[in-house]
Structure formats: structure tokens, C-alpha cells
Amino acid sequence: MTAIRIDGEHLAAELRAEVEADTRALEAAGVVPGLATLLVGDDYASAAYERRVRRLSEELGCRYVCEHLPGGVEEAEVLAIVGKLNADPRVSGILVLRPLPSHVDEGHVYRRLDPLKDIEAVHPENAGLLALGQPRFVPSTPASVFWMLDRYVADTGRDPKTFYNGLDLVLVGRSNNVGKPALWLGLARNATVISAHKFTAQAGRLKAHTRAADILVVAAGLPRFVTGDMVKPGAIVIDVGINPEKDAETGRVRMVGDVDIDSVEEVAEAVSPVPGGVGPITDVFLLRNAVHAARLQARLHED
């Protein structure tokens, strides 16, 4: 078996066309969406993501603001910047780029966000709505995972409305921005969801769970962590990992996933590559959320 490599670039282009149409419709109504990113420090992957989002915002005609603070900044200054963005009428959506420095409490930052601008649903209010199945916003990365899955299922002649019913969906990684929201999205699709994490691995039980997965979503933050012998034959594998890797000979840095795609594609039905998989969709979905936030805020203002 040679797995199908799911083309995230193609799916992102389709989603982009939808976002462009929504943006033009808002502009015709006098509303211009605006995205703000907050980057603290110089994490390589976060900085690369910020550059991609900046470029995409400009291409889609979305206002863009980046607040880049040094890694040694005090937490109070980070919170003050969040407050400034909350009050900025040009900004409809705010993205706090992770990781934050260890001395800055993520929870404090997330709770300071205006829930109507919290497009990644990290504020407790929005996280709670997502858990209850009533999302105001769906975080861009897990949303993109299921956008990709739904489209792949439909393109292979199956119905996304019933495909997941009772299937074993295993998530490797339980982060607040990917693993936990993906759990709620999987349950909303009637899958049997298992959340595996480092303690699952320490207990020696990780492989037993991944080998049972009909759908395996990997967001562990470990390069090439999941190998072919950990995957059930015929499974659908979605790789969320983005890990910088330096070539020993050239010194060039490239991104690799959490899945060892060469071995996994020998047993899986389908696998998403890195780069070119979930990432391009996530970029567009973030802008989609900023457009949705602008729409919500405009309606709130009209009321």
C-alpha cells in the first residue's frame, strides 16, 4: 500500500476563494477585517508563521498589525499590549503566538483577550462554548485538520456527516490550541475519541492506542515521532507537527512533521505531508476567523 498524500495547498486555495468572497462582501458593507499578531521572543517556527500570516493578510486585503516584543519583556507589558489591541477598532481578531516565554503566564494573557476578538478560542469563555458544541470560533489548526478530513472523506465518495460515527479517532498531543479542541471537534462528529499524551507514552501504552486508530491526528511536537509500525493498516493520518530541522551539510533549515511519512505511507490509506498539508489551510482559516469576528462585531455594533 502507498498512501494518498492529501494536498493541503489545493484545499487551502479553495478555502481562500471563500474567504476572499466573504472579505469583499464585508468591505461592500463598510467593514474591513483586521488581524493582529502578538509575538514575544524569537521562536523560529512562530516567526515563520507570523511572516506567512502577514503576507496572506496583505494579499486578502485584511488590515494587519504585528506587536513583536523581546523575550525578556515583563508580563505586565504583554498584558498591556493585549489591552491596546482589544481597544483598537482596526483589529477584529487577535492571535497570540506560542510559545510565550516561561515567565509569562499563558492563562493570564488569554484571559485578558476580548472574547469577541479571540479568534483562536483560548479565552475561557470561547473554550467553554467550543466544549459545549456551541463554538463562537473554532481554533484554526484543529479546524483545518477537520476541514482536511471532511474534504478528503467527501472526495473519496464517503459522507462526512456519517463517516466518523463510532470510528476510533486518536489524538497524540493534548495542547490547549490543538489537542484539546480537536477532541471536542471529534466528539461533535460522533467519533470515539482517545487523547494520548506523554504520560500515555511513559506508561508504554501509546503504540497500542495509535495502532487501533482509524484516524490518527499527531500534534506531539516531536520530529518524525510516529512511525509506520505505530499505525493501523488503512488508517488516515494527519500530521500537525512543524519542527525546524537543520541540514548538517548545507546548514539550511527546513520544516518536518511529527510523522515519519516515508514509513507511514507504506501502511496508511492517506497521510498529510509537512510541508504542504495542514499548514497552508491553517493560515487561511485564521483569516477566515478574523473575517468572521469582524462580521460578529459589526452585527453587535448594529444592535
pLDDT in tens, 175-187: 999 999 999 999 9
Q: Specify the amino acid at residue 73.
A: V
**Residue 287 pLDDT:** 97
> Is 131:102 a contact under the CB 8 Å cutoff?
no
Torsion of CA 35, 121, 13, 274, to 10 degrees: 110
User: pTM of the entire structure?
Assistant: 0.93
**Does the structure show a pLDDT above 80 at 1?**
no
Task: Return the CATH number of the domain spanning residue range 140-280.
Answer: 3.40.50.720
| CATH number for the domain formed by residue range(s) 30-117 | 3.40.50.10860
pLDDT(12) > 50: yes
Q: Which pLDDT does position 40 carry in this prediction?
A: 98
pLDDT digits (tens, 9 = 90+) for 192-250: 999 999 999 999 999 999 999 999 999 999 999 999 999 999 999 999 998 988 888 88
pLDDT tens digit sequence for 14-36? 999 999 999 999 999 999 999 99
Tens digit of each residue's pLDDT (9 = 90 or more) over 50-88:
999 999 999 999 999 999 999 999 999 999 999 999 999
The answer, yes or no, to whether residue 105 has pLDDT greater than 80, is yes
- When pLDDT is cut at 50, 70 and 90, the band that residue 301 belongs to is very low
CATH 3.40.50.720 domain position(s) in the chain: 140-280
Please say if the pLDDT value at position 303 is more than 50. no
**Between 192 and 45, whose confidence is greater?**
192
Comma-separated ranges of CATH 3.40.50.10860 domains in the chain = 30-117
pLDDT in tens, 130-169: 999 999 999 999 999 999 999 999 999 999 999 999 999 9
**CA distances (Å), origin 254, targets 151, 220, 246, 294:** 27, 18, 6, 35
**Residue 300 has what pLDDT?**
47
Taking each helix axis from N to C terminus, what angle separates 179-188 and 124-131, rounded to the nearest 10 degrees? 30
DSSP the chain: ---EE--HHHHHHHHHHHHHHHHHHHHHTT---EEEEEEES--HHHHHHHHHHHHHHHHHT-EEEEEEE-TT--HHHHHHHHHHHHH-TT-SEEEE-SPPPTTS-HHHHHHHS-TTTBTT--SHHHHHHHHTT--S---HHHHHHHHHHHHHHHHTT--HHHHTTT-EEEEE---TTTHHHHHHHHHHTT-EEEEE-HHHHHTT-HHHHHTT-SEEEE--S-TT-B-GGGS-TT-EEEE---EEEE-TTT--EEEE-SB-HHHHTTT-SEE--SSSSHHHHHHHHHHHHHHHHHHHHHHHHH-
Q: In degrees rounded to 5, what are phi and psi of residue 166? A: 80, -5
